[in-house]
Structure 1
């Protein structure tokens, strides 16, 4: 499980970056956005610790890479989604329903308790995360490098 999570959520990004960055550096321009997770700050120890650790590693890698390639004109940033309405989120709820013999509503209530709720009242839509990513790769974000944007409806309360 740990090797799979590291492969999927860290090493795949490293490999892709190593393939694409030389061209960006040669052109003196480019933008990379890594999708991390709020779980790097709030791991759900009972079910997703390996995932959270891989996303924490991706965040550290992203920041280090930003420092490495920014002088060459390449911007690297990350986006940390919270609980987003996706097939993956539904899958997590379904697993919890089966494991606990509980309803979807009970599984969602349990998750919200663990997360401390979503102050805005509902999960974000995938398009909202995509909009932040689109901004980060646009010319409007030309001065943004090494940043992490959190899209979680206020779930992470720490600065």
Structure 2
């Protein structure tokens, strides 16, 4: 797939660490000009991705990103909506305030809706483009004690993505979802550490508890690069007949066919 994306402009939200960084690096290696967003600039940027600071829970930042990309490059070919996180505490419905629900939905659902709305006019004018929305296996297999509000926001993202694929297919734009399972990212490791503190458990006990609840046949977390490889394929010309599909990358955890 070397140079398969040469001349294309790609946006990766949350693209400075974890899954987002792995995706940004992979697209860059395939020849794309890559723009990344995050709240703060990365300490290191060895691949020279163009950085736009943004807080995607703020509606106006989506417009700022779109304006800057189109001013600098004049086009947008690939949108990877990767920014997201499980912001709420564990413990189930009684521990979740309105603010917890609001924050999870702003980051994990509304940020995607806003970014797409801001950039889709340019894509529809080109009559080409690819959108990949990064969801989670927890949208189909929620864990009530850990991911209730996060899972609901991502489940909405899955439904939105399917509807968007149906609308945009006739305009030459493909939309797919990638749903990772348990991935070794800084956010995941922080989540496990915080859960250990709040439950007076060890990190090892919490990690094993998460793995037992999720049930991963391969017995380990995924590496971010393993998610990036699938994303790079889905945005490439080799996947030009694939749209409206949700791909699980979960080590076999999904319990259904």
Please report the TM-score for the alignment, with normalisation by the length of structure 1: 0.96
- Unpaired runs of 5+ residues, structure 1, are none
Query: In the alignment, does 2:128 pair up with 1:29?
Result: yes
1:128 maps to what in 2? 226
Matches within 5 A, 1:80-99: 80-99=179-198
Matches within 5 A, 1:1-159: 1-115=100-214, 117-159=215-257
State the 1:99 CA deviation: 1.6
State the 1:47 CA deviation: 2.3
Q: What is the DSSP-based 3-state SS (H/G/I as helix, E as strand, rest coil) of the residue aligned with 2:177? A: strand
Task: Give me the whole-angstrom Cα distance separating, in 2, the residues matched to 1:113 and 1:153.
Answer: 13
Greater share of helix residues, 1 or 2?
Answer: 1
User: Which consecutive aligned stretches of 4+ in structure 1 deviate over 2 angstroms post-superposition?
Assistant: none
How much is the aligned-residue C-alpha RMSD, in angstroms?
0.9
Mean Cα deviation higher: 17-26 or 66-75: 17-26
Q: What is the DSSP-based 3-state SS (H/G/I as helix, E as strand, rest coil) of the residue aligned with 2:251? A: coil
- Unpaired runs of 5+ residues, structure 2, are 1-99
Higher RCO (Cα < 8 Å, 6 or more apart): 1
State the 1:95 CA deviation: 1.5
State the 1:5 CA deviation: 0.6
State the 1:46 CA deviation: 1.4
Task: Give me the whole-angstrom Cα distance separating, in 2, the residues matched to 1:97 and 1:31.
Answer: 39
